[in-house]
Amino acid sequence: MKSILFSLFLIVVSNASYGQLYNIRLGGNASLGGTLTTLTVANTQSDEDTSAVLASFMPINVDITPWKFLSFNAGFKIGSWLNEDPNDDNIIIKQKTTSAIMFGFKLYPLMKDNFNLYFGYDLGIGGFKTVKETSGVFFVSEVQKWKGINQNINFGMNWYFGGAFGMFFQTGYTGYNLNLKEFTWNNEDQMEAFDLSANMIVKGAQLELGFTYKIGGI
């Protein structure tokens, strides 16, 4: 993560003198949606499951605006799934992290010096990891890793109230298409043992709020 953030910072600093506007944004994100998980064993679909999902993220983004109506952005977000909390004293969730690297663009129907509105689209690679321990008659340490495509359709605003400093607000759609990449019990691979594969579709809404800092101008 540190190398990604440092690279984004270097992009801004090295190009700040070319008459372009740059925004560095750091905030918090809450996402609420639903999942459809399809389980396949020995090339035969065996089960489908639906559930609600709630997640929180800390995103950081850099926007490069060469023209008043268009910007390009790159970002990274890391967070946690919040609904993986079973009512069972024998089950302990040790880890439930999620992350994504995103690239996209924004269109600005309104662009002022201290305020703008935008529509945006992001596409990237994301996933999540859970580590769960179950005790009782047998002890099982379960690890799942999912990876796939993440896309977002956004509507938002930037408001600068202190010169270069300001706040942003963003809402919109988020979606994931994830495949199960790792599934182990006590470090033993269950995907190969049972000829197992799984796909998860996640669709929902997201709300994002945070601080923004701009460099340069157009």
Contact yes or no for 62/72 (Cβ under 8 A): no
**Residue 104, Cα to own-chain centre: how many angstroms?**
13
What is the pTM assigned to this prediction?
0.83
CA pair distance 20, 175, nearest whole angstrom: 31
Q: Looking at the predicted structure, is the pLDDT value of residue 67 above 90?
A: no
What would the pLDDT profile of 133-178 be if each residue is shown by its tens digit?
888 777 889 999 999 999 999 999 999 987 899 999 999 999 999 9
Provide the pLDDT confidence category of residue 28 given band limits of 50, 70 and 90. very high
CATH number of 2-16+33-216: 2.40.160
What would the pLDDT profile of 76-104 be if each residue is shown by its tens digit?
999 998 765 566 677 778 888 999 999 99
> Which sequence spans correspond to the domains of the chain?
2-16+33-216
Residue 165: closest CA among 70, 23, 21: 23
Residue 39: closest CA among 152, 117, 146: 146
Contact yes or no for 178/146 (Cβ under 8 A): yes
